[in-house]
Structures are given as C-alpha cells and as structure tokens.
A and B are shown apart, each in its own frame.
Chain A
Amino acid sequence: MAAKVEVTRPTKIELARLKRRHKLATRIQKIVKDRLSILIMEFLQTVKECASVKESLLAEFAEAYKALTITTGYHGYVPLEKELLVSEMTVKVSAGTRNVAGVRMPLFEIEKVDPVKSKMKNAGDTSSILDHSTELSQKCLETIIQLAELENSLELLGAEINKVKRINNALEHIVIPGLDVTIKYLTMKFEERDREEIARLKHVKRLIEQREAYAY
C-alpha cells in the first residue's frame, strides 16, 4: 500500500516536527521489536515447559489409575467408595501474579498438604495400597495446578504477542513510511520554493541591470 502524504501546514516548523516524530517512531519501533522478541522467547519456553509437564501428567495419571485399579481390586468398589467419601484432604494453593515484559501472568503455588488432615477417617479399614494410590493422586494434583498456570500464561502471552505484532506492523508499514513520504514531500516542496526564489531573484537582478543600462 502506498503511503499517503498528510500535511496540515507546509511550513518548516511542521517539517521539524515531523522529523522529530519520525525519530521517535523509529526508536519506539526498535523497543517494540525487542519486546516482541522477548515475548516470543518466553512463549517458546512456556510451550516447551507445557509439553513436558503434560507428558509427565499423562505418566502420573497412568500410574495413579493403575494404583487405583489395584486398590479397587483389593478393597472392592463399594468399600473403597465409602472410604473415599468420608476421607478429606486440605490443599492450599496460593495464587498471585508475575509480570513478564508487561504481561501479567498467573502464579500458582501449592503449599504443603497437611498430612494429619489428609488422612483417612477410618485408618483400620485402609491399607498401604490405598495410601500409595492417594499419594499418586496428590502428585497428579500438583502437576495439574502447574499445567493450569502454564496454559493460562501461554494464552496471555499469545494474545500479547498478537497485539505487539500489530503495533509493530502499524509502525513499520503505516506510521514510518507515511512520515518518510511526508518529510520527502515537504523537503522537495521547500527545495522547489528555494529554486523558484533564486530564479525570481535572478530575473529581478536582470531587470534592474537592463533598466540601469537603458538609463545610461
């Protein structure tokens, strides 16, 4: 798309103002580009981490389900369900935010699970197999919270990257070329004006010389 020349007043002050704006726009574009590269780097790192956490979560889930199946086989479905209904576990998750290059991202941290409160109500009816299964489920919960944080961060980073890309494109393809064209137009206009002025002065000088020649 060809850049449009937008001049309100074709004056030297306007040209100086435009040159200042051009300098500022170029500087801002460099900063925006830097920010974009940082955000992309963070995004790629989060993607990598997200993939590895997902993989480990799948492995943990497989292990936990396997343990649960063994526990169900050992205790029986109905007694196990009864036991799980009355059991309780306190999980404390502290939530906060962290700021990465202007993007506010969530930060979840699971605090230590209280071992006393997370015990089964009726210790007599439970077994080490059930305890093992519970431990594995707790581990899964920690990974789920970690994954939730990463997925949310990924979404926020992606949205911000899109936004910054648009700003960068607007600067690169609209603002800076527009300023370039306007500055060029004004410079040429002033040069033309100067040339006209010189030609006019030469013509006046010639006229004066001719008049002086006739006078003698």
Chain B
Amino acid sequence: MPTDPPPDRLITGYLKDEVRVLNAQIPRKRKSLSELLEEEHPHVICNDGNEHYFRKKELESLSQMVNDEERSSLLLPIIMEITPDRAEIIIRTKGEAEAKIFSTILSMSVICKQNKITIYRPQLGVIRNALKTTTQYVFSP
C-alpha cells in the first residue's frame, strides 16, 4: 500500500523543485539587440524550454540609447546576478553598452570594471521598471 513520504523527504523534494525553478528563466542563448529588432515576435528560449518575449517598445527605447555598433554587441536579456549575503547586484557585460543604458536609466554614471557592473538593490526597482522584459534575474548559489 503506498504511503506518504516522510515530512523531511517531502521538504527535500520541494527544495529540489525550488532550486530548479529559481534559474529556469535563464536563456539558452542570448540574442543581440539588432537581431531582436528584426524579428516579428522578438523572443529567446529559456532553460526550461519556454519562450521569453520582449516588448517591442522596450527594444526600440534601448536602440535609441546605444549606437549602431553597440546595438549588435548588446546581448539581451541583460542578466543581473543576485548573490545571497551581498547587497550588490552584479551585471556581467562584454562591452560598454550596458553601462551606457544603466547610466541613462539611473541618471548617474555607472562604471564597468573588469566586465562587471555593480548596482544596488534600491536601483534595481528603477531598472526593472524601465526594462521589464529585457532584464533577467539569476540567483547565484
């Protein structure tokens, strides 16, 4: 006769699911802004196989913030790394485009050091408000 698993095993099962769900939104492959602007329905495929769509208005506003060269180098969605025990949020970049975008949104200078941009939690709300579909969270264990 099947019986309920013991409570501890049940919780372990939930936790396993929780960790899997945490980073399910990471895209398998990011696309450049210029590539996305050409698509009719701009989207990327996530780790869990689902599609993540971008709002066209957001892409257009981003394209106005950067130049032609940066448009093809800027990979979307921009990934924001959240690490426990740390107040800062790290954005790993390849060029200066992300720093340019964030400084425009935050209306302050943002420095890119060793391919990393550091922002703080109160600034996260402002960025997410402006870039709802073009930014993604990643929870670093």
Using a Cβ–Cβ cut-off of 8 Å, how many residues does chain B contribute to the interface with A? 34
B26-64 vs A, Cβ < 8 Å mask (1 yes, 0 no)? 000000000000000101001000111101100000000
B129 partner, pick from A45, A94, A107, A175, beta carbons under 8 A: A45
Q: Would you call B52 and A174 a contact (CB within 8 A)? A: no
Q: Would you call B51 and A97 a contact (CB within 8 A)? A: yes
Q: How far is the CA of A6 from the CA of B21 in the complex (A)?
A: 29
Nearest CB in chain B: distance from A178 CB, A: 8
A167 located at the interface, meaning its Cβ lies under 8 Å from any Cβ of chain B in the complex:
yes
B106 located at the interface, meaning its Cβ lies under 8 Å from any Cβ of chain A in the complex:
no
A83-105 vs B, Cβ < 8 Å mask (1 yes, 0 no)? 00000000000101111111010
SS of A interface (majority): helix
Q: Would you call A100 and B41 a contact (CB within 8 A)? A: no
Contacts of B18 in A (CB 8 A): 28, 32, 164, 167
Q: How far is the CA of A170 from the CA of B12 in the complex (A)?
A: 11
B88-124 vs A, Cβ < 8 Å mask (1 yes, 0 no)? 0000000000000000000000000000000000001
SS of B interface (majority): mixed
Q: Would you call B82 and A27 a contact (CB within 8 A)? A: no
Known interface pairs A45-B128, A99-B25, A109-B55; 19 further A-B residue pairs with C-beta atoms within 8 A, sorted by A's residue number: A27-B141, A28-B15, A31-B19, A34-B82, A35-B22, A38-B137, A41-B124, A41-B128, A45-B125, A45-B129, A96-B41, A97-B50, A98-B53, A99-B52, A101-B137, A102-B23, A102-B25, A104-B50, A174-B7
- Which residues of B are at the interface with A, using a C-beta cutoff of 8 A? 7-8, 11, 14-15, 18-19, 21-25, 41, 43, 46, 50-53, 55-56, 82, 84-85, 124-125, 128-129, 132-133, 136-137, 139, 141
